[in-house]
Chain A
Amino acid sequence: METCGHGWGENDVHFQSVITTLHEFWSNQGCLIVQPYDTEKGAGTKSPHTFLRAIGPEPWSVAYAEPCRRPADGRYGENPNRYQHYYQYQVLIKPSPPNIQDMYLDSLRALGIKPEDHDIRFVEDNWEDAAVGAWGVGWEVWLDGMEITQFTYFQQCGGIDCRPVSIELTYGLERLTMYLQEVDAIAKIQWNDTLTYGDVHMQGEIEHSKYNFDESNPELLFTLFNLYQQEAEQLMEKGLVLPSYDYVLKCSHTFNLLDARGVISVTERTRYIRQVRGLARKVAQLYYDQREALGFPLLKESVGKAA
């Protein structure tokens, strides 16, 4: 592959090196670098490192690469730009720092993209996920017309006002790397020196698309949804916030699978969404109450550090 001669440095920009570069960069900005969360989810926002940590007054800075699944987006690997499984690079900082845009531009420099050489724009784009009672305002960041990052100032999460406000940055890793490598299909992304994204994931795209659209067992999925929901509820009753949240995520993913399979009737659909939202709100409140009961420990820690 070739990357030179376009003004963004001489390093080979492999998919994996994009992630390492971002890890290193955000680590240097004081972010905790965590590993992907081991439950299926539709977006990096749904990792408890973001969804729960954005709630309440405790400061928090975190960065991670997160695999995401959107079953209905599968195209059997035939569409060059649309996959049902992909990666996001997620940064969450609370409270939002005043120089976050400059920090972000520096992260692009770290990736070898000199803002001076390009047309970089912050274009209004607000975000809302009614299914989990969350919304925020922000931008999509355009690099020469390509949306490479989503910026969101969280205003509400799980129906709770965010105070202080977190800033969330979500890099579309495939988009970004495709741009850096000048390739026109996700599958053509060079993952490292020898293997492509297609080598790693194409078979999965094909098989999961078949599973999502044609072969999943709706009966089983309906049963699972109900079981997951029951489990989430009984765990909430016992005040086990994190295990309960896992089951909320499982409900949400199971719903997405059923939706992709086209077996959710119109009236059921609204009911399912309402159920997941109810669970998400409840667990969010429970998390807040739990942290409050603990005396918001991270708040004390940072106060202690500052003093």
Chain B
Amino acid sequence: MATFLLEVGTEELPASFVEEALAQWRDRIPTELEAAYLAPGDIRYYGTPRRLALLLTDLPEKQPDREEEAKGPPAKAAFKDGKPTKAAEGFARSKNVSVEDLAIRETDKGEFVFVQHQIPGRPAAELLQEWVPQWILGLEGKRFMRWGDGDFKFPRPIRWVVTLLDDELIPLTLENGSEKCESDRVTQAHRVLHPAPITLQHAQDYVATLRGAYVEVDVEKRQTQIKAAVETAAAGVSGTARIDADLLSEVANLVEWPTAVVGEFETEFLELPSEVAIMEMESHQRYFPVLQPGTAAQLLPYFITISNGDPQKSPLIAEGNGRVIRARLSDGKFFFDADRAVSLDTFVTKLDTVTFEERLGSMGAKVDRIEAIATLIADQLNLGETERLHLHRAAHLCKADLVTQMVGEFPELQGVMGEKYARHCGEAEPVAIAIAEHYLPRGANDHLPQTLIGQALGLADRLDTLVSIFSLGMLPTGSSDPFALRRAANAIVTVTWDANLAINLHELLDQVVNTFVDNPDLTVDRAEPLRSQLQDFFLQRVQTLLQDDLGIDYDLVNAVLGENDPTYTQRALTDLLDVRDRATYLQAIRQDGTLAKIYETVNRAARLAAQGTLDTAALDPAQVIETGRFQQASERAFYEVLQALLPQTQSAQRDRDYQQLIAGLENAAPVVSRFFDGPDSVMVMDKDPAIQQNRLNLLGLLRNHARVLADFGAVVKG
């Protein structure tokens, strides 16, 4: 058993690629080795900014010899009159057997020659020599580069390769134009802490030797060390470190020999919004901020950086970093002060020079549209005078911070800064909060807006984005959704549900589409197909959210959305709260067994009723049933149960209280069964067309009452 080391030395790799590359190797190499009968006892993967490595231990020195059956030429071609032909001899030679070893066997394509032959196992060294270049150059990723005068593509230039099988070098050469990289037993250690190259004697020495030369090759180990060091460092200044998981894994791949270094800045910078200071530290400097223990965002005037330098030089390194963060924070302070010297209204006028989308005009034009849509929403929500004023003001100001210096510098702070600046300008509190909240939720697991003005403004902004981008025909396809329109539509539905907003999305889409058609600056000349594309898109979103977020069974989702029945689809968009309530209610009565009791009866009635002509909106038996044509008591009973159901259904329609409707249907079920199968049952398809019509109408009415809740035809089980 042997140990094999591969190390690919590079110029500093992008931090994200180190993990990506090792993951590809994890996926690929064990399977490849196994398929080649050369499975090692263990495989370890290592990586730093300057190297990707793997160590195979307990590796067989050669493949086992194997016996395999090989198929040769057709028997007719291999033997003439019982004598082997040249074809047979050639085949035998190629498999290293004699002609006598050949056997003839019947296959579904006729008789063929077969032979059992020995495949001698090949030495691991030979195979590795063939495989390794593919392992290196088969890695994939974004933004690969060429270097020098060659054609290789890799994230950064490859500078050395180590290939050791135990203590033997496995020679191979990577040729990139005029640069030849020959594998060797020489590796590079830490750039400045151990500048001398290291000659490895044995593959097994790899991890320990590099550790002795200030390189920790184990990614996870570096992460663990960093986390512990950062926590200790923070405790050293009586604080708690804020450790963002993504930052931690990035930092681990920015260094080979981590040391936590604590630096300090002046307390005056704590006057900056903590969001700004945290962003400066985390995104720009890859520092870990230090918080007052027990607080979420109350900063202490310290930072922790993970240095790749000499631990003994930490004081000098801390001082240098301190100067950098001070310069950045004073930049931030400069932006903050400069922005606050100007009113938000002034920034609004500058939005005319910022592009939203080339064909849709400026951000200023978008704000005008948001204001108009906000008014429509205010009407639907019946907002009072003050709320209307707040919503209108917030709509006017919601994008102003985009042209402030701070957001120009830190685009991630959009909304956050707008809120602070609005407050500074003396705007009403609901206005300030709404400016920040209208961006919520920013992603799948983000907070939702808590104020009515924030919720309404978010809807208006997103509706504008959706309608405008759709108006350009730029609908999301597959994985391509550059304007995050799915997320925008999801947010509209989720916020409406979360806050129980009584909005009529169907009407709102119509109104907004019409304003686009009326707008001379835009190129929408007719409402269709824009309107139906938007409706379809929202219905898909509702469907997905019902299933994925609310956990409703797919058939019940289909039942409430009516499987393309326009009555249902329009109803769903007209009342998003109702469609949610009906779906969750159906799910609940499936769980408690009620659905099972009624769904077969209702379905049977609905199937037959389809042969009649009764309008799906009819509910009142008195208007469509001629009691004089009843021939059996079961018909009369059916009629009476429908009469009893009518007020319950009407109240369900009015109050979205479906419990009574379902109770009524539960009562009706045995009566309807009697109508079908009881001692006084009837033939629905009577010879007399008037009687037939009357009976079909009874069934139609039952179906219609059930339809107020859902299309039971879509339900697949109780």
Binding site for B on A (CB under 8 A): 6-7, 75, 78-82, 95-98, 101, 105, 115-124, 126, 136-137, 139, 143-146, 153, 155, 162-165, 167, 179, 182, 184, 262, 264-267, 269-270
B316 engages A121 (CB within 8 Å): no
Given A118-B317, A119-B308, A146-B323, 4 new contacts (CB under 8 A): A96-B148, A120-B192, A262-B353, A266-B352
Chain B stretch 144-203: residues in CB contact (< 8 A) with chain A: 145-149, 155-157, 159, 177-179, 191-193
CB–CB B254/A155 < 8 A: no
Q: Which of B20-28, B354-362, B479-487, B650-658 contacts A (4 or more CB under 8 A)?
A: B354-362
Query: B192, A115: Cβ atoms under 8 Å?
Result: yes
Name the residue in A120, A144, A164, A269 with the highest tally of chain B Cβ atoms < 10 Å from its Cβ: A144
Please tell me if the beta carbons of A179 and B330 are within 8 angstroms of each other in the complex. Answer: no
Q: Can you list 8 A-B contacts (CB < 8 A)?
A: A95-B148, A116-B313, A117-B313, A144-B309, A146-B323, A153-B146, A265-B352, A265-B362
Which residues of A lie under 8 Å from residue B352 when comparing CB positions?
A: 265-266
- Selected contact of A143 from candidates B16, B145, B320, CB within 8 Å: B320
Q: Tell whether A81 pairs with B350 under 8 Å between CB atoms, given A118-B309, A146-B323, A146-B324.
A: no
Given contacts A117-B310, A155-B146, A269-B355, contact A179 B334 (CB under 8 A): no
CB of B678 closer than 8 Å to a CB of A: no
* B residues 302-337 touching A (CB-CB < 8 Å): 305, 307-310, 313, 316-317, 319-321, 323-327, 330-331, 334
A79 engages B334 (CB within 8 Å): yes
- Is B147 touching A153 in the complex (CB atoms < 8 A)? yes
Binary contact readout B5-17 vs A (1 if CB under 8 angstroms, 0 otherwise): 0000001111110
In the complex with contacts A95-B149, A116-B310, A122-B11, A145-B331 CB distance below 8 A: no
Interfacial chain B residues near A267, Cβ < 8 Å: 358, 361
> Closest residue of chain A to B179, judged by CB?
A98
Q: Within the complex, which residue of B146, B330, B353, B355 is in contact with A184, where a contact is CB–CB below 8 Å?
A: B330
Determine if B149 and A164 form an interchain contact, defined as CB atoms under 8 angstroms apart: yes
Question: When A153-B145, A266-B353, A266-B361 are in contact, do A120 and B191 touch as well, CB less than 8 Å?
Answer: yes
Contacting pair B147 A124 (CB below 8 A): no
Measured between alpha carbons, how far is A124 from B179 in the docked complex, in Å?
24
Nearest B residue to A99 via CB reads B159
Chain A contacts of B309 at CB under 8 A?
Answer: 117-120, 144
A155 neighbours in B (Cβ, 8 Å): 145-146
A-B contact count (CB 8 A): 142
> In the complex, what distance in Å separates the CA atom of A118 from the CA atom of B312?
10
What residue of chain B has the Cβ atom nearest to residue A141's Cβ? B12
Given contacts A153-B147, A155-B146, A164-B177, contact A262 B313 (CB under 8 A): no
Question: Contact at A137–B143, with CB atoms within 8 Å?
Answer: yes
Residues of A within 8 A of B331 (CB): 79, 81-82
Residues of chain A within 8 A (CB-CB) of B155 are 137
Q: What is the minimal beta-carbon distance from B286 to any residue of chain A, in angstroms?
A: 8
A123→B353 contact, CB < 8 A: no
Q: Is B285 an interface residue (CB 8 A)?
A: yes
- In the complex, chain B residues whose CB is within 8 Å of the CB of A167: 147
Q: How far is the CA of A129 from the CA of B354 in the complex (A)?
A: 20
Q: A179 CA to B317 CA in the complex, in Å?
A: 12
Residues of B within 8 A of A145 (CB): 285, 287, 305, 320-321, 324-325
A167 to B309 alpha-carbon distance, docked (Å): 26
Find out whether the CB atom of B159 lies under 8 angstroms from the CB atom of A98: yes
Which residues on the B side are within 8 Å of A120 (C-beta)?
191-192, 308-309
Check A116 against B316 for contact (C-beta < 8 Å).
Answer: no
- With the chains together, A267 CA to B521 CA distance in Å? 12
CB distance from A179 to the nearest CB of B (A): 7
A96 touches B147 (CB 8 A): yes
Return A114 CB to nearest CB of chain B, in Å: 9
Bound-complex Cα distance A139 to B143 (A): 13
Instruction: Name which residue of chain B comes closest to A57, CB basis.
Output: B149
Among residues 187 to 235 in chain B, which have CB atoms less than 8 Å away from a CB atom of chain A? Answer: 191-193
Q: By CB atoms of chain A within 10 A, which of B285, B287, B356 has the most?
A: B285
Rounded to whole angstroms, the CA-CA distance of A122 and B13 in the bound complex is: 9
**B449 an interface residue at 8 Å Cβ cutoff?**
no
Q: Is the CB of A80 within 8 A of B330?
A: yes
B49 at the interface (CB under 8 A from A): yes
**Complex: how many Å from CA A60 to CA B178?**
16
Does B317 contact A124, Cβ atoms closer than 8 Å? Answer: no
Q: Give the residues from 353 to 411 in chain B that come closer than 8 angstroms, CB to CB, to chain A.
A: 353-356, 358, 361-362
Interface size class of B (residues with CB under 8 A): 35 or more
Closest chain-B Cβ to A18's Cβ sits at a distance in Å of 17
B320 touches A266 (CB 8 A): no
The 8 closest A-B pairs by CB, nearest first: A144-B320, A164-B149, A119-B309, A122-B12, A124-B14, A145-B321, A119-B307, A145-B324
Contacts of A136 in B (CB 8 A): 145
Give min CB distance, A7 to chain B, whole Å.
7
Q: How far is the CA of A96 from the CA of B321 in the complex (A)?
A: 31
Q: Verify B323–A182 contact, CB threshold 8 A.
A: yes
Contact B148 A164, beta carbon cutoff 8 Å: yes
Contact residues in A for B308 (Cβ distance below 8 Å): 119-121
- The CA-CA distance from A179 to B193 in the complex, in Å, is 22
Q: Shortest distance in angstroms between A176's beta carbon and chain B's nearest beta carbon? A: 12
Task: Looking at the assembled complex, report how far the CB atom of A261 sits from the nearest CB atom of chain B, in whole angstroms.
Answer: 10
- Closest Cβ of chain B to A249, distance in Å, is 24
- Nearest residue (CB) in A for B148 is A95
Rounded to whole Å, the gap between the CB of B180 and the closest CB of chain A is 10
- Asked if A165 and B316 sit within 8 Å, CB to CB, the answer is no
User: A212 to nearest B CB, angstroms?
Assistant: 15
A204–chain B nearest beta-carbon distance, Å: 20
Q: Given contacts A115-B192, A262-B350, A266-B358, is CB(A144)–CB(B149) below 8 Å?
A: no
Task: Give every chain A residue within 8 A of B157 (Cβ-Cβ).
Answer: 96, 98, 153
CB distance from A150 to the nearest CB of B (A): 14
B152 CB to closest chain A CB (Å) equals: 11
Measured CB to CB, the nearest residue on chain B to A271 is B358
Chain A hits for B355, CB < 8 A? 266, 269-270
Q: Could you say which residues of chain B place their CB within 8 Å of the CB of A122?
A: 11-12, 49
- Bound together, the chains give a CA A75 to CA B331 distance in angstroms of 12
**Chain B, residue nearest A144 (CB):** B320
Closest chain B residue, CB of each to CB of A126: B143
Question: What residue in chain A is nearest B408 (Cβ atoms)?
Answer: A72
Most B C-beta atoms less than 10 A away, residue of A95, A119, A267: A119
A270 vs B192: C-alpha distance when bound (angstroms): 47
For A143, list chain B residues within 8 Å (CB). Answer: 320
Write the chain B residue with the least CB distance to A262. Answer: B353
Q: Which residues of chain A come closer than 8 Å to B156, judged between CB atoms?
A: 137
- Report the bound CA distance from A184 to B324 in whole Å: 9
Contact indicator A184/B327 (Cβ below 8 Å) = yes
Partner of B316 from the list A82, A97, A118 (CB cut-off 8 Å) is: A118
Q: Closest B-chain residue to A7, C-beta based?
A: B316
| Pairwise interchain contact A184-B323, C-beta atoms closer than 8 A | yes
Chain A residues, Cβ within 8 Å of B49: 122
A134–chain B nearest beta-carbon distance, Å = 14
Query: Given the complex, which residues of A lie within 8 Å of B321, measured CB to CB?
Result: 119, 144-146
Contacts of A123 in B (CB 8 A): 12, 15, 254, 286
Alpha-carbon separation in the docked complex, A82 to B338 (Å)? 14
Which residues of the other chain, A, contact B286 by a CB distance below 8 angstroms? 123
Residues of A within 8 A of B316 (CB): 6-7, 117-118, 144
- The answer for the CA separation of A265 and B305 in the assembled complex, in Å, is 43
Task: For A79, list chain B residues within 8 Å (CB).
Answer: 331, 334
Assess the B148–A144 pair: CB atoms within 8 A.
no
Q: How far is A180 from B90 in the complex, measured between Cα atoms in Å? A: 78
Q: Which residues of B contact A137 (CB under 8 A)?
A: 143, 145, 155-156
Instruction: List chain B residues, Cβ under 8 A from A118.
Output: 309, 313, 316-317, 320
Contact with B317, one of A96, A144, A162, A270 (Cβ below 8 angstroms): A144
* Chain A residues positioned under 8 Å from B325 (CB to CB): 145
- Bound-state CA distance A132–B13 (Å) is 27
Provided the pairs A143-B320, A184-B330 are in contact, do residues A165 and B192 lie with their beta carbons within 8 angstroms? no
Q: Looking at the assembled complex, report how far the CB atom of B199 sits from the nearest CB atom of chain A, in whole angstroms.
A: 19
Q: In the complex, what residues of A have CB within 8 A of residue B327's CB?
A: 80-81, 184
Establish whether residues B358 and A270, one from each chain, have CB atoms under 8 Å apart when the complex forms. Answer: yes
